[in-house]
């Protein structure tokens, strides 16, 4: 059993601790906790994580957020995986900070990374874990908000929410998307 887990974000040191890079941050935490490391590969940094007989191919696209579909499509084909084995980790301004929502499919909700994945794959029938970053910004300042660092209040509970995200990734592979949604979406 093999799965492709895609953390969305932007490469470059200026983006490391920004809200928009939560997908990268979750995968980095999983790699650190598992003593694995990412290697620079085609269109992405790639690591392989094994858990309870499952193999999770972790990728952090190097194509930048708005062109994430290229990396996702390439790695699905390279690993010979169908979209039901794909989980995309993404920030979501429509959810309050720290709220996690797993969905088995859905629209891009205005997220440019998901929009590009949907266009490239030609469908939206893949799982995504939406990590709420809140929407505490003035009208017209969304881009600045998502590309800014976490505030002090968010930093206090960020590690616990990232740990919960890692639990969800593992459950996605072991128990399936429906069971994982039932278990975690109301926490």
- pLDDT > 90? residue 80: yes
20 is catalytic: yes
- pLDDT > 90? residue 186: no
Expressed as residue numbers, the domain containing 78 is 2-184
* CATH at 120: 3.40.50.1470
Mean pLDDT, residues 145-152 taken together: 94
Q: DSSP label at 130?
A: E
In sequence order, what DSSP letters do the residues of 36-101 get, joined into one string? ---EEETTEEEEEEEETTEEEEEEEESS-GGGHHHHHHHHHHHTT--GGGEEEEEEETTS-TT-EE
- pLDDT > 80? residue 112: yes
Q: What angle do CA 114, 119, 121 make, to 5 degrees?
A: 90
pLDDT band for position 120 (cuts 50, 70, 90): very high
pLDDT band for position 84 (cuts 50, 70, 90): very high
Task: Report the number of distinct structural domains present in the chain.
Answer: 1
- pLDDT > 90? residue 136: no
- pLDDT > 90? residue 175: yes
């Amino acid at each position: 059993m093999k799965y492709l887990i895609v953390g969305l974000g932007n490469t470059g040191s200026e983006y490391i601790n920004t809200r928009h890079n939560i997908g990268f941050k979750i995968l980095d935490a999983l790699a650190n906790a598992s003593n694995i490391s990412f290697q620079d590969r085609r269109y992405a940094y790639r690591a392989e994580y094994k858990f309870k007989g499952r193999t999770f191919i972790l990728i952090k696209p190097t194509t930048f957020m708005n062109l994430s579909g290229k990396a996702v499509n390439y790695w699905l084909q390279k690993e010979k995986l169908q979209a039901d084995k794909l989980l995309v980790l993404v920030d979501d301004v429509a959810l309050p900070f720290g709220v996690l929502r797993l969905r088995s499919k859905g629209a891009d909700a205005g997220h440019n990374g998901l929009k590009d994945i949907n266009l490239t794959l030609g469908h939206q029938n893949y799982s995504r874990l939406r990590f709420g970053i809140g929407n505490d910004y003035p009208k017209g300042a969304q881009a600045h908000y998502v590309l800014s660092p976490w505030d002090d209040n968010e930093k206090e509970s960020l590690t616990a929410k990232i740990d919960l995200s890692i639990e969800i990734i593992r459950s996605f592979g072991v128990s399936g998307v429906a069971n994982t949604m039932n278990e975690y979406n109301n926490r």
